[in-house]
Chains A and B, each alone.
Chain A
Amino acid sequence: LKEKHKILHRLLQDSTSPVDL
């Protein structure tokens, strides 16, 4: 499941991770 939700997973692991708008 983590593999299919890479960005959600990244947000959970690292709050400073940027998500481009």
Chain B
Amino acid sequence: SQMADLKSLAKHMFEAYLKNFNMNKTKARAILTGKANIPPFVIHDMETLRLAEENLVSKQAVNGIQNKEAEVRIFQRCQCTSVETVRELTEFAKCIPEFINLDLNDQVTLLKYGVYEAMFAMLASIMNKDGLLVAYGNGFMTREFLKSLRKPFNEIMEPKFEFAMKFNALELDDSDLSLFVAAIILSGDRPGLVNVSQIEQMQETIVQALRLHLHSNHPDAIYLFPKLLQKMADLRQLVTEHAQLVQKIKKTEADTFLHPLLQEIYRDMY
């Protein structure tokens, strides 16, 4: 009966994942492999960036950035997507059994430290070696274009591509990712947690469900579970470096603005 409970938990988290995230790996892979009805518009230089801004992103227009330099405009739009994903992750976290019964301060702490790790894990779903989907899958921005931006903006995405290529080699699907993301959120060693043992117990249950699910979903990948645990450590490093870069941009780039929600998350993070 314990195995049935874990299977039912995996199903529940998968449903919560599909319900709360606008984009998922199945949708993204269909677009990236040319199976979508309309192929994404490719952004590979300043001209195609302008065209995309005029035609693709009117719904997510950001006030006052039209006349700023391209690097700043891209940075601001990345923030919009991040804010939206934090909102989706918060709703997803609330679907984890017992999460909403945790001390409210602990809920805040788990999200503060977990959202960027979860976000970079899910970002891999919309990436391939040549670029990533933008504007809800309607655009594809090339990796080379991002590398061609001026410093320090050209340093933002490359580490995420490097992580994504290794992560995507594990060939996880959305059902695996739903449990992986839940396990990231329920990390009992985040600074300042009050009820550590309660969170550790919750994570243990999710991790058991993940191990069982991987066993049936990837019967031939015998080292997948330990590899995924290692990825959790890699994601922490990736977020630490990202947070340092954002602080640097905030200090040196007078024209950039950090969204209040992201400011809250980055403040006193590491």
Contacts and interface: CB of A to CB of B under 8 A. Distances in A.
Contacts of B80: 21
A5 B91 CA distance: 16
A6 B268 CA distance: 15
A2 B108 contact: yes
B60 interface: yes
Contact of B111 (A6, A8, A15, A19): A8
A10 to B, nearest CB: 9
Interface string A1-21: 110111111011001000101
Contacts of A12: 90, 94, 104, 107-108, 111
A11 B84 CA distance: 11
A19 B112 contact: no
Interface in B107-125: 107-109, 111-112
Nearest to B260: A7
Contact of A21 (B60, B104, B268): B60
A5 B112 contact: yes
B19 to A, nearest CB: 12
B264 interface: yes
A21 B260 CA distance: 10
Interface in B213-270: 259-261, 264-265, 267-268
Contacts of B268: 4
Question: Which DSSP category, helix, strand, loop or mixed, fits chain A's interface?
Answer: helix
Given A7-B261, A11-B86, A21 B108 contact: no
Contacts of A8: 86, 90, 108, 111-112, 261, 264-265
Contacts of B112: 5, 8
A10 B47 CA distance: 40
B157 interface: no
Interface of A: 1-2, 4-9, 11-12, 15, 19, 21
Interface of B: 60, 62, 80, 83-84, 86-87, 90-91, 94, 104-105, 107-109, 111-112, 192, 259-261, 264-265, 267-268
22 contacts: A1-B105, A1-B109, A2-B104, A2-B108, A4-B264, A4-B268, A5-B112, A8-B108, A8-B111, A8-B261, A11-B87, A11-B90, A11-B261, A12-B90, A12-B94, A12-B107, A12-B111, A19-B87, A19-B261, A21-B60, A21-B62, A21-B259
